[in-house]
Amino acid sequence: MINEIPKQKPDTPLLDTLSSPAVLRSLELSQIQQVVDELRHFLVYTVGQTGGHFGAGLGVVELTVALHYVFDTPNDQLVWDVGHQTYPHKILTGRKDQMMTLRQRDGIAPFPLRSESEYDTFGVGHSSTSISAALGMAIGAKMNQKSQRTVAVIGDGAMTAGLAFEALNHVPDTNANILVILNDNAMSISKNVGGLAKYFARILSSRLYLSMREGSKKILSRIPHAWEIAKRTEEHMKGMVVPGTLFDELGLNYMGPTDGHDVEALIATLQNIKDLEGPNFLHIITQKGKGYGPSEDSPEGTHSLSKIEAEKTAPEPKHNAPSYSNIFGRWLTDMADVEPKLVAITPAMKEGSDLVEFSEKHPDRYYDVAIAEQHATTLAAGLATQGILPVVAIYSTFLQRAYDQLIHDVAIQDLNVLFAIDRASLLEDGPTHSGVFDLSFLRCVPNLILMAPSDENETRQMLYTGFVHKGPAAVRYPRGKGPGAQVESNMVALPIGKSRTLREGSRVAILAFGSMVSVCTEVADELGATLVDMRFVKPLDENAIQSLAKTHELLVTVEENAIQGGAGSAVNEYLSASGTIISTLNLGIPDTFILQDKPSSMLATCGLDQAGIKLAIEQNLLPVSQQVP
Taking the C-alpha atoms of 509, 513, 516 and 519 in order, what is their torsion angle to the nearest 10 degrees?
40
Cβ-contact 121, 80 below 8 angstroms: no
**Closest of 2, 181, 6, 84 to residue 432, by C-alpha:** 84
Q: Determine which one of 296, 373, 428, 456 is catalytic.
A: 373
The values of phi and psi at residue 422, to 5°, are: -90, 165
Rounded to whole angstroms, the Cα distance separating 456 from 488 reads 9
Bridge partners of 531, per DSSP, are 503, 510
Work out the burial of residue 291: count CB atoms within 10 Å of its CB; fewer than 13 is exposed, 13-18 middle, 19 or more buried: buried
Rounded to whole angstroms, the Cα distance separating 366 from 359 reads 6
Rounded to whole angstroms, the Cα distance separating 300 from 367 reads 18
Is 288 a known active-site residue? yes
Is 365 a known active-site residue? no
Cβ-contact 190, 243 below 8 angstroms: yes
Q: Determine which one of 350, 401, 443, 535 is catalytic.
A: 401
- How many CA atoms lie less than 13 Å away from 171 in the CB half-sphere? 34
**Beta sheet of 150-155, edge-to-edge order:** 77-80, 150-155, 178-184, 279-285, 253-259
Query: Residue 553 CB: number of other CB atoms within 10 A?
Result: 13
CA angle 12, 16, 21 (to 5 degrees): 120
Rounded to whole angstroms, the Cα distance separating 133 from 180 reads 11
61-70 vs 263-273: helix crossing angle, rounded to 10: 40
Taking the C-alpha atoms of 106, 111, 112 and 113 in order, what is their torsion angle to the nearest 10 degrees?
-40
Is 535 a known active-site residue? no
Rounded to whole angstroms, the Cα distance separating 178 from 195 reads 28
Q: Determine which one of 90, 96, 288, 460 is catalytic.
A: 288
Q: Which residues are catalytic?
A: 288, 373, 401
